[in-house]
Structure 1
Amino acid sequence: MTTIDLLYGKGTKRVTPPPQARPYVIKKRQMPILEDPVLAIRQALEAPLGAPPLETLARGRATACILICDITRPVPNGLFLRPLIETLMRAGLRPSNIKVLVATGLHRPNEGQELDELVGDPWVTQTVEVLNHFAERDEDHVDLGRTPVRGTVVRIDKRFVTADIKIATGLVEPHFMAGWSGGRKVIAPGIAHAETITTFHNSTFMAHPRAANCVLEGNPLHEEQLEIVKLLGGALALNTVIDEERRLAFVNFGEIVQSHLAAVDFVRNYAAVEVPRKFKTVVTSAAGYPLDKTYYQTVKGMVGPMDILEPGGDLIIASACSEGIGSRHFAEAQRRLVELGVDGFWQSIAKKSHAAIDEWQTQMQLKPMRIGQVQLFTDGLAKDDLALTGVEVVDDLDAAIARSIERQGSPDVAIVPEGPYVVPVTAA
């Protein structure tokens, strides 16, 4: 009997397709794991792409700001923050002039024990100041003007703007809007003002066919992010890639655009998986902890396998949702989806110049809903929140798979255990 473990919460959720099923499991090729991650990080800092070594760059500079992603990303901050900070200190920067800024975007702040977990190294919190970005605090931001083509007002956290050394850090993985996460995305939306975020997350951007997983060329979000980096005057980036067991597979450092593209070139060979055909039953996850803490983030898992879902097929997703639905803003957008339906919700946002906070995630949920039936397995949502999902809720994954096989008249089942960290694409 075939069993497959989906990433779910801090562990896995086992599925056992019925005997008549023909499972097609979609995983990354095995990544090469770095034997000495800390040594690899130090070597990256000494040999950057498109920039001098960090210690050389930092000599004679007074201040530095290092961006880290928020708790929704399993970034190995505990591996690289100390080497980064120690390099800056060797160059002469005082610890009091080095700030680590959590790039929350419009997400909630990470504080207390959660912040310690995020940073991953008590030495860091004992040595330098670690702060959260708050996108709705006007006084925390600097106006850098407008992007030249689309005219987005660019307001960025002044702690980063005014730093002599600006470093974005993050995880490079598929992203369902921006193509790939990391690099320029840690700056915008990471530390952008709400006005900036809600502009280039409006319905026009989100509906663009190139605003999709694994797509950079012609992607309007990516293009806008590059323009924001130019208005900022450039930055540095430390980019990481991890395997499905959260082990470091790749790290580089350097000029933010060049180093990010090099990381994308590496991870693309693993994360984008060619599949020979579409399926009427697709089973996936929301990538487990920390990504599946909320239903908001679960939408990424729904979008990930869209290319292999037959029209009218069933997309079954497992997500722990241990923190519930997500923000009150997202809950309100979901409430409107449930009340108005797919077409009605789209009509309500289609002409807005600025998105309401978090409604872009609901808009992205429309994409798989237009292809087939989305079904959710979770044990983390209260009854009221389940009603806001806008999808069918199932309480037994195995039974849901069996019903789908019978309803669809096909025994073939695509299974994506790692969720949105793997993007299956049909062969051209």
Structure 2
Amino acid sequence: MDISLNYGRSQLAVTLPDELDITIIRKPDMPLLADPVAALEAAFANPDGGAALATLAGTAETACILICDITRPVPNGVILPPLLRTLLAAGMKAENISILVATGLHRPNEGDELAELVGDSWVMENFRVENHFARDDAAHVRLGQTASGTVVRLDKRFVNADLRIATGLVEPHFMAGWSGGRKVIAPGVAHAETITTFHSARFMEQPGCDNCILDGNPLHAEQLEIMAMLGGAHAVNVVIDEERRISLANFGEVVESHLKAVDHVRAYAEVAVAERFPTVVTSAAGYPLDKTYYQTVKGMVGPLDILEPGGTLVIASACSEGMGSAEYVASQRRLIEHGAEQFLRDIMDKSHAAVDEWQTEMLLKSLRVGRVGLFTGGLSEDEHGLTGVEAVDSVAGAVAEAVAAAGDKRVAVIPEGPYVVPRYRP
């Protein structure tokens, strides 16, 4: 059987033997918006919570619009023009509207990459587009402290705006349950102190901190507290299908509108599967998510519910930018040098995580279930040695070895990677 996995900017073709019992797991066909711009304009006029966008803009002098960074395939070129036109039509001035890239602790997006991210030349030429820098103390304002002790500091460019709008993609997220909405704000434009607190092991090791879970998710609960401290924000949420076409676009109060989008996407992104498999093949969703090994970990965690204990997970990821941040490389180096048990012991009692060590922690969740084999053309031999997983020369070869080791020909294939979360439902 010929299969195709999302890989970089294209597809990775893999041929598997016909005698294997292969199950392809993907989203059901999603309804698509015939005219996304018209749908957005209608959403601005008919919000899910709060007032219409034009009404909000009519009483605001300044606005700050958040966009996700380059790691998310958000159709900003579709979203931003009608959003900005609505603000201008309501009487706002372009010089009083800023667009802020919600980088969290990721690197900034600049130059051609920033233009690609924004997706529209008119927006780039007429509006101020800036990056968030989580380590810049002077750029943040302290809002208070959550019940669990997280000091909340957010980018003052967003906090001080009269009209605050977060835009983003609602998809499964392996820590926060679902991306988008409140997550674009925190960690998106939060200070490093805030981010490293609620990404510490005391949050990450709780069972509710997982894909597609909101109720009982400690990270989501923390984000809701932060939204209450902020005192009001709105969101533009989109849901996309496997071909990255828009299935839903809505607008409204940040929490309420996000939950509406979650209700829509949950029916497609969570896929019930009646069995567990000794071998699972997946991707890191292709570009832009699979630019780094750091982001690739999401693809390793997504299928764990259908991987038999002791089974093999084979993942394909381009890793075109290598491992990720220097901090993540340092975290992976500690894992290799000290081992998984010592690594976890070292982080469990921290009040603040070291930057990006949470991704190493999430990697260990997959290694607790089974073996992981990584196919990539983007890592050097030395970098492979820091991944903590096995390097494979071909997906087909890794599958053949896994099938032989298991003595079981059943193989699950998830072409879209972490954007699909299979759930074991016998």
Tell me, yes or no, whether TM beats 0.5: yes
**1:273 counterpart SS class:** strand
1:168-207 to 2 correspondences below 5 Å: 168-207=166-205
**1:212 counterpart SS class:** coil
Q: 362, 365, 382: which is aligned to 1:364?
A: 362
The aligned counterpart of 2:136 is: 137
The aligned counterpart of 2:21 is: 22
Shift of 1:199: 0.2
1:61-72 to 2 correspondences below 5 Å: 61-72=60-71
Shift of 1:75: 0.1
- Counterpart amino acid of residue 3 in structure 1: D
The aligned counterpart of 2:278 is: 280
1:20-419 to 2 correspondences below 5 Å: 20-147=19-146, 149-419=147-417
Distance in 2 separating the partners of 1:325 and 1:151: 32
The aligned counterpart of 2:8 is: 9
- Counterpart amino acid of residue 30 in structure 1: D
Residues 369-395 of structure 1: per-residue CA shift (max 9 Å, x gap): 011001100001112211110100001
Aligned-residue CA RMSD in angstroms?
A: 0.7
Shift of 1:156: 0.1
Is contact 1:60-1:92 (8 Å) kept?
A: no
Distance in 1 separating the partners of 2:56 and 2:36: 23
1:424 partnered with 2:422:
yes
- Counterpart amino acid of residue 137 in structure 2: D
**1:402 counterpart SS class:** helix
Segment of structure 1 superposing worse, 396-405 or 166-175:
396-405
Residues 80-120 of structure 1: per-residue CA shift (max 9 Å, x gap): 10111111111111100000000000000000000000000
Is contact 1:7-1:417 (8 Å) kept?
A: yes
Identity over aligned residues, as a percent?
62
- Counterpart amino acid of residue 58 in structure 1: A
Structure 1 regions of 5+ residues with no counterpart?
A: none
Distance in 1 separating the partners of 2:324 and 2:48: 38
**1:130 counterpart SS class:** strand
Shift of 1:17: 1.6
TM normalised by structure 1 equals 0.99
Shift of 1:341: 1.5
**1:323 counterpart SS class:** coil
Shift of 1:18: 2.0
Shift of 1:362: 0.4
Residues 358-413 of structure 1: per-residue CA shift (max 9 Å, x gap): 00000000001011001100001112211110100001111110111000110000
Segment of structure 1 superposing worse, 249-258 or 54-63:
54-63
Structure 2 regions of 5+ residues with no counterpart?
A: none
Shift of 1:20: 2.5
**2:339 counterpart SS class:** helix
Residues 302-344 of structure 1: per-residue CA shift (max 9 Å, x gap): 0000000101000100000000000000000000111111111
Distance in 1 separating the partners of 2:184 and 2:326: 23
Distance in 2 separating the partners of 1:126 and 1:55: 23
Shift of 1:58: 1.2
Distance in 1 separating the partners of 2:225 and 2:254: 13
TM normalised by structure 2 equals 0.99
Distance in 2 separating the partners of 1:369 and 1:18: 27
Moved over 6 A (4+): none
